[in-house]
Structure 1
Amino acid sequence: MVRYILAAGALVVLAGCAHQLADLAAYDPPGFLSGIWHGMIAPFALIAHLFDSTVRIYAFPNSGGWYDLGFIIGIGGISGAGVRA
């Protein structure tokens, strides 16, 4: 059990060292509305990614939580999540 706690702690410390590239600092990241769109086209992007590895399903870097929320709304809306028959 102690090994797992130490391993998890080491991962957290290493993740804290991560940073974005300096040349992407001037890049205007996609936001909420882009997240909705990317969520809606995610199934098609997945199929395209199987044939072309340059196609990404999820935009990176993005604006953070707002993009994530839009992505979840977009993917949930297209898949019919939460709809009761």
Structure 2
Amino acid sequence: MNNFLNRKLKLIILIMMTIFLLTGCMPGDGSYTLKKPANFLSGVWHGWIAPISLIFSIGKNNIRIYETINTGFWYDFGFYMAIISGFGGLSFSRKNK
């Protein structure tokens, strides 16, 4: 029984740490400025966490799925690549059946 509680506590701590790390770098959090806009890698990251950002945006008005202060094409390209690859749209290798 004690082992079960330890595993459950570790899982809860892991989930809380993951949520804390993800919310620290969501789009719309005010970390980007006109002098330092979101770039390609930020677009990739924001694309990967877009479903999580959507859930958090329900409770917080400043959290968005997409960062509006960005570099333009390269941010959009990274965001789009992450969105389609996250849902299996990009496959660099095929499995043989």
TM-score range, shorter chain: 0.5 to 0.7
Residue in structure 2 matching 1:41, options 49, 71, 75? 49
Q: Alpha-carbon deviations, 1:40-62, whole Å to 9, x = none? A: 00000000001111111101110
Amino acid at match of 2:60: D
TM-score, normalised via structure 2 length: 0.56
Matched, 1:81 2:86: no
TM-score, normalised via structure 1 length: 0.63
Matched, 1:32 2:44: no
Aligned residue pairs, count: 61
Residue in structure 1 matching 2:70, options 43, 55, 62? 62
Q: Alpha-carbon deviations, 1:49-83, whole Å to 9, x = none? A: 01111111101110000000000001111111245
- Please tell me the root mean square deviation across aligned C-alpha atoms, in Å: 1.8
Q: Percent identity over the alignment?
A: 43
Note the residue ranges of structure 1 that are not aligned, 5 or more in a row.
1-23
Note the residue ranges of structure 2 that are not aligned, 5 or more in a row.
1-32
